[in-house]
Amino acid sequence: MQKSLVWKFAKLLEGVGLIVVLVGVLISIDLGFKEEGLASMAQEFRGLMVGGAIFVSGYLLERWVGSR
């Protein structure tokens, strides 16, 4: 597999991870405005964990390729 293709896939994973975190925070804010505090914190935690895991997998893949 070409290094540039793997690097692009790693960058895509990083970007998707950041978007997932952002969406989780926005949903959390919306729930917070509806006075659902516990559900808001749970949604934010899920978004941070899933998005963070996707981002870290992209970061590690990029390091594995050797571009960092």
The pLDDT, as a whole number, for residue 1 is: 63
- CA diameter of the chain: 50
Which residue did the predictor score with more confidence, 68 or 52? 52
Interatomic CA distance for residues 41 and 37, integer angstroms: 6
pTM of the full structure:
0.84
Tell me: the pLDDT tens digits for 23-65? 999 999 999 999 888 888 999 999 999 999 999 999 999 998 8
Show the CA angle centred on residue 59, arms to residues 29 and 65, nearest 5°: 160
